[in-house]
Structure 1
């Protein structure tokens, strides 16, 4: 039963990933693109977490944590750059 739930969760995250990609392509301004990329990274982090649990390995969690930290920092820098014209 848990394998079925994990398969459903991974399939749902994959569909959300395609939907987020379409949202990214249709974004009109930079702030919407930043938000769409942040959502895409969150979905990829969720997929890496599901893979880590289903395959019983820990390095997917390490990759998910590193990606989440890089995404958070990049989102802050890009949002500040768009609003102020300079990153720091």
Structure 2
């Protein structure tokens, strides 16, 4: 097993955490629903990457399983919301 040096791991965790804060600010300032959807999708990707890094650093598969589950849930919800916004309503 190749061990990622902490010189890379710690700055990556800090950087992703800072990006989460920035993504939260973008979500708060979203002008309409489509901007909010993109911001939520970005936050989901950042949380997935954070979970993957935590899984690697702590050598536990539970975090990676949660990352995969969140990725699938995020994909399905993004597609469903985009279809809803594209059709103009729930029965369009």
Structure 1 residue 25, shift from structure 2 partner: 0.4
The residue that corresponds to 2:90 in the other structure is 86
In the alignment of these two chains, the number of paired residues is: 88
How does 1:41-80 map onto structure 2 within 5 Å? 41-80=44-83
Structure 1 residue 82, shift from structure 2 partner: 1.2
Would you tell me which structure has more helix in proportion to its own residues?
1
- What CA RMSD, in Å, does the superposition of the two structures yield over aligned residues? 1.5
Runs ≥4 in structure 1, deviation > 3 angstroms?
none
Q: Structure 1-normalised TM-score?
A: 0.94
Alpha-carbon distance in 2 for matches of 1:3, 1:56: 14
1:19 aligns with 2:29: no
1:9 aligns with 2:43: no
Larger radius of gyration: 2
